Structure 1
Amino acid sequence: MGETVLGISPESLYILGKKPQSLEEIHKPHFLAFPPSDRDVEVERKKLVDAWKRNEETPLKHITDIGEVEEFRSFWDFEKKVKGFRIYAKRSFLVPEISDYLFFNHNLYTAEHDIPYHQRALIDFAASDRAWVFDTEGKKKNLKVLVYDIETTEFEEGKTDLPIDILGYTSIDIAVESEKNLDTEEFSFEIKDWPSNWIDGEIIQLIARSKDEEIDTLLKFCKLVEQHSIISGHNIVGFDNRQMHGRIEKIVSE
């Protein structure tokens, strides 16, 4: 691929040095469908295609394409092979609804419908050698790491749009080198450069005493995020990220 994937979410793929890419623009959400063993897979596929093309108000309307018949190895008996086909959905969150409809209304078994979408995409990217998280292909890559923390004096359980009173952060430059060899199943990941005295790195605090100052702080934070490769901090997934996102969303909507 030649590019270093830093992370993935159900919505976006994060590549070093690039803006987040919409995951569904480069990967099609899908799952697998199989008929019972006493039924012909080609016949069952044609029945489903005909039903889909009727454009009725059923979950089939969420399908974008129905793949050709393929042979898959059984999940529970790897030596056994079964024939099935892929069902492609408009959006990843529509997969379970379509899957249930096929099972109860078209007598089709389904598989891989309950895999979290970002994991589904990562598996497909890795299988096709398109992307592997943090694989620098043996080259040294420089990363900027932002470590931040927030404080709010009006904390209320369950609310994620409260004023952000203090934003504290520091920036760290590191370099990593990694590579994989799928033939030998060997993987390596090394941090090549790291600040020798990172504990003494400058910690910047932005204090908001008014809403205007808070907006300035949030704008500064957004610019910092764009300038860094990795965003880190204590419990930021469970708290800080949610609060920052919720507060920015509320201010923008006002």
Structure 2
Amino acid sequence: MSPDGSMILAHAFHGALHLWCKDQDKEGEWKPGVVISGHFNAVQDLSWDPEGQFILSVGSDQTSRLFTTWRMQDSKQATWHEISRPQIHGYDLQCLAMVGRFQFVSGADEKVLRVFQAPRNFVANFANISGISKEKLLQSSGSASLPEGASTPALGLSNKAVFQGDLVPKAAKEEEQFSSISDQYQESYFHPLSLTEPPPEDDLLQNTLWPEVQKLYGHGFEMFCLASDSTRTLVASACKVSVVEMNWFTFWIR
């Protein structure tokens, strides 16, 4: 608890900080605040986006995280913050490569490469937080065909795209009567966000995933290295092998 009693800071089991601030406009209510965040285990790889406006990283905490600059209101100095957690996986993530303005490939302690593309909700929020033209970003990302967001089904590893038609209004969800216990736990927990500042931990975990658009198969063991060429149309990956003296490389073409 802060000395003046206006803020509460908590440290969660999975390594995150949570901050709640007393709402000055609503007596007795608290709202989540912006905190520092990042990987809580070894960072294995990172990459700049093609325009140099954000950084993506992957680590042994089984997450990928996206960082960009944000300027607090009335502040002249911009600071770096996590604004999206595109992939929350069941394996330790080892490598990644950017293959487009809002698209990347990641490899983990499994035999599959996974390709992710930013949803429409992320592009809009990235523009709001970074101060970059929203119209320009939406146009360059081909937002007309993009899903609104993504969610991970129970016991699944693949982020499932959530489109505008899949969203249920919050009021309807609250009034809905469930006929069984299983009905209470739907696959899609994604709720669209309208952000002007970095999201709190709860939203990072639930509402900032990127949909998985493709899997790349071919390796027989866990992957540890990944790279793309300058045109971002060719990806090369390497995996562990049973014989130490050998290396196994695979090339992928879009």
More strand by share: 2
If the length of structure 1 is used for normalisation, what is the TM-score?
0.20
More helix by share: 1
| Higher CA-based Rg | 1
If the length of structure 2 is used for normalisation, what is the TM-score?
0.20
